[in-house]
Structure 1
Amino acid sequence: MPAFLEAPVAGAYHLITALVTAIEPLTGAYAAVTAIVLCTLAVRLLLLPLSIRAHRGMRARAALMPRLKVVTDRHRDDPERLRREIAKLQSESGTTLFAGFLPTLAQLPFFWLMYTLFSRAVVAGESNQLISGSLLGAPLGLHWPVLTGTPAFLALAVLLAVVAFFSARRQLRELDETATPLTRRIAQVLPFGTLATAAFVPLAAGLYLLTTTTWTVLERAVLQR
């Protein structure tokens, strides 16, 4: 790992281990699990202003889609003119076609930290204490080939599938009548990508995915209202 990345990894490690030590008298063997959930919730809370902005951007984008379709049909044979017209529409509406991806992009560094912390035996020059934590008897640092069939892996997979199902339903409801069949199909399938991701990351990172996707479903339900 590049030297400039060691500092944030070490800082995150000391922060989470301190949290684990602080809550261990209350949570016992599930101190590390609880710490992951609490850290994930803290990250999402910090990103809440960005999520609100992104939600407003998505609503503005949805209102923009009918006009965008007209412009696309009118200038489909003139790519340069089409690019200028789309940029003009986005400038007038104060949004972009990628507004809804901002919270997801902002979370990537935190997901990378979680993956790194539970994938290394040595962190910050000392033995990694976090990978000794467990969920339903399964160590948080293990990957799916070892976990397959264990209660922890099965529970995580089922819960991720349930959250993905509700996420897909909500995304379909938020699409307007201009959405193409391909767009609707992508909206149905994309949320289940968390299941595929969880199969290739440590159990701790899968727990992060479960917590953050659950937050996203609840957050979007509240913001939509």
Structure 2
Amino acid sequence: MSVFASLVERLADLLQPLFATTATAAAIVLFTMLVRLAVHPLSRAAARGQKARTRIAPQLAALRKKHAKNPERLKKAMLELHAKEKVSPFAGILPSLLQAPAFFLMYHLFSGDRMAGHTLFAAPLGDHWADALAHGGVFGPAGRVYLVLFALVTAVAVFTYRRTKRQLAAQPLDLGQPTPGAGAISKVMPLLSFATLITVAVVPLAAALYVVTSTTWSAVERAFLFREEKESTGGKGKPASRKKASGAVATRA
């Protein structure tokens, strides 16, 4: 933890000529981005695993339907399918878990007392939104800083909400099988993107900066990693090559 703190302090010193009193806040944002960049290979691996599971999901659903009354045969058939398609049942899960310790350490670094005495404009990095409300209200000097953060978080949450809704519509959690709670989870899952608003409101401002930066990075990163999936289907679920070929036939006709 002290190593991370020292790195943030050194970054703040380097950024001092550019950002003056907000150098520590800028260092938090930059440090978060550098860590997210360092773990990006794990994010790519997780995305590949998710795509692989999505690709074989219809076949898994068919196996569940075919062997619904024979759990042992179903288990064997699913293992055979994963081996045939060269997809691990845990593809994408392990890379996501490996990222967790870094995010956990950063959150605790920025939610501690190490950021006391530093500010982001008029808002102390060690204070909470409640402190800003108590000293000037919603539109006070510190309150306005939080309003900007809330606006950014809301924009990212709306983007993530819409994207999650589209993904769930394209691949329901129940995969056509009666799965208890799948419908409720599908309704609640997109709304989780708005939980960041609550986090920003209750944690110290330094931690809020980390959360906002990391959440924004995640939204942009996932849009980038999964853009290939949209491009390969022509954006409408039809393979781009097939669309191109059908267009060529129509032209010749």
Q: TM-score, normalised by structure 1?
A: 0.79
- Shift of the 76–186 alpha-carbon distance from structure 1 to 2, 3 Å rule, reads farther
Q: CA deviation at 1:38?
A: 0.8
Secondary structure of the residue aligned to 1:63 is: helix
Match of 2:209 in 1: 207
Match of 1:174 among 146, 149, 167: 167
Q: Does 1:67 align with 2:59?
A: yes
Q: Which amino acid aligns with 1:39?
A: F
Q: How far did 1:99 drift?
A: 4.3
Instruction: Mark the structure with the bigger radius of gyration.
Output: 2
Task: Using the aligned pairs only, state the percent identity.
Answer: 39
Q: 2 CA distance for matches of 1:139 and 1:101?
A: 37
* Residue number among 35, 38, 50 corresponding to 1:43 in the alignment: 35
**Paired residue type of 2:66:** R
Aligned mates of 2:74, 2:127 — CA distance in 1: 50
Alignment length, in residue pairs? 210
Shift of 1:145: 2.9
- Matched with 1:139 is 124
Does structure 2 conserve the Cα–Cα contact (< 8 Å) formed by 1:75 and 1:81? yes
1:3 corresponds in structure 2 to: none
Residues 63-212 of structure 1: matches in 2 within 5 Å? Answer: 63-96=55-88, 99-101=91-93, 104-121=96-113, 128=114, 130-148=115-133, 149=138, 150-175=143-168, 177-180=170-173, 181-212=183-214
Of residues 10, 14, 23, the one that matches 2:6 is 14
Would the alpha carbon gap of residues 206 and 99 (structure 1) be closer, same or farther in structure 2, given more than 3 Å must change? farther
TM-score for both structures, normalised by structure 2:
0.71
Q: 1:173 & 1:194 partners in 2: Cα distance?
A: 20
Uncovered stretches (5+) of structure 2, i.e. residues with no partner: 174-182, 229-253
Greater CA drift, 24-33 or 198-207? 198-207
**How far does the alpha carbon of each residue in 1:152-179 deviate from its partner, in whole angstroms, 9 at most, with x for none?**
2222222111101101222233345441
Tell me the amino acid that sits aligned with residue 166 of structure 1.
Answer: F
| CA distance in structure 1 between the partners assigned to 2:184 and 2:80 by the alignment | 26
Q: What displacement does 1:97 show?
A: 5.9
Query: CA 1:36 to 1:72, structure 2 compared with 1: closer, same or farther past 3 Å?
Result: same
Q: Note if contact 1:157-1:195 (Cα within 8 Å) is conserved in structure 2.
A: yes
Question: 2:46 touches 2:96 (CA, 8 Å); kept in 1?
Answer: no
Q: In 1, are the aligned partners of 2:110 and 2:210 still within 8 Å (CA)?
A: no
SS at match of 1:141: coil
CA distance in 2, matches of 1:137, 1:131: 13
Give the Cα–Cα distance (whole angstroms) in 2 for the partners of residues 200 and 88 of structure 1. 48
Higher RCO (C-alpha under 8 Å, 6+ residues apart): 1
